[in-house]
Chain A
Amino acid sequence: MSEEQIKNLEKQFDERIARDEKIEPKDWMPEKYRKTHIRQMSQHAHSEIVGMLPEGNWITRAPSLRRKVALLAKVQDEAGHGLYLYSATETLGVSRDELYEQLHTGKAKYSSIFNYPTVTWADMGAIGWLVDGAAIINQVPLCNTSYGPYARAMIRVCKEESFHQRQGYEIMIKLANGTPEQKEMAQDALNRWWWPSLMMLGPTDDVSVHTEQSMKWKLKRKSNDDLRQQFIDQTVPQADLIGLTIPDPDLKWNDERGSYDFGDIDWDEFWQVVKGHGPCNKERMKARVGAWEEGEWVRDAAMAHAEKKKERNQKQAV
């Protein structure tokens, strides 16, 4: 194809998206669209899978049977969501195994927040409330994104996730209304998870590299800073309601803007964690790679068995 033809196709392509038409797997798409989607969708899938680990850490120690089944179901959903997202990514001509390979070799990123440790039970509350809260803000607009398989996966994800944040907030409510020891546990978790949750919504707009293109493709509907503001504005009253304090001395309501002003985010910390220097980066990767490698003989066995069975059936048919 000549450069002009490609330009023309790209123009038509952008117009289709602008008209809110969905792009489906076999449709022509610019290479950059394909690559950007593989990157974002797989990063999203990886985040779900790695995100199972910090919470999975507390499944065996959940304080009650009710909490245990809720947490199990939630972490299981994350596996499901990773699976939906990997499947959607596979429609772009890349296999799940290749995507795993990218994750395991450190080529692909996942949400940095999962590199923080879960040290008390209250962290299950804080993660559900804050981390899932921030994730939902990010994800709801994606139900309308331009790539059909991604949009469909996100609709399913958002529907299923509706209980996740409640699950976390309910844990926090119980703790905040509990004994002084429990309340302290809740406050401590909020103190540790608040800033990483704000960082989770991405770098500030002035340094964010992909925003403009992503907006056009509806991979993003609002800027990182807008999303962050939305998250803060919705979360602060929830903290107030249960008597917990947001760990930001500069946080205050701005009447004029109709929003909360907030203090400076430590972006140095953010970039250090992204670069692999978070408290748990190594453990998380070790757990993922370990599960994959230890599972290899199992996956091979299932494949070998399937082939033997097929052969036997064919022989019988003859």
Chain B
Amino acid sequence: MSTKNWPLWEIFVRSKNGLEHRHFGSLHAADAEMALENARDVYTRRNEGVSIWVVESKHITASNPENNGELFEPAQDKVYRHPTFYDLPDEVKHM
């Protein structure tokens, strides 16, 4: 077996200008240049992209689902952040 394996990279592709980069998947590459080239060959074979970001997977810090209660549930009842919370007279159709 090889002494050192190619690290894993996460690939983000902008499918067209005006849209954000979206996570497309991952792949292995020895360095950033190779990751970009591989991403081009693997994830944009069918004309899926106009821009690619690559990030080595180990550099991503992710929240822990075990903390989802404290992280995300408190936002659930803040209904006043949404327009439907506010009453409008029927005459006002758009606001």
Contacts and interface: CB of A to CB of B under 8 A. Distances in A.
The answer on direct contact between A and B (beta carbons under 8 Å) is yes
Interface of A: 24, 26-28, 76-77, 80, 83-84, 87, 90, 95-97, 101, 152-153, 156, 160, 296, 299-300, 302-303, 305-306, 309-310
Contacts of B28: 96
A306 B30 CA distance: 6
A299 B65 contact: no
Interface size class on chain B is 20 to 34
Interface of A is mostly: helix
Contacts of A156: 25
B91 interface: no
A300 to B, nearest CB: 5
Interface string B1-25: 1111110100000000000000001
Contacts of A90: 8, 26
A97 B5 contact: yes
A26 B64 contact: yes
Interface of B: 1-6, 8, 25-28, 30-31, 34, 42, 45-46, 62, 64-66
Contact of A95 (B5, B27, B46, B65): B5
B2 A80 contact: no
Contacts of A84: 25
Nearest to A310: B31
A27 B5 contact: no
A153 B25 contact: yes
B13 to A, nearest CB: 12
A26 B1 CA distance: 28
A303 B27 contact: no
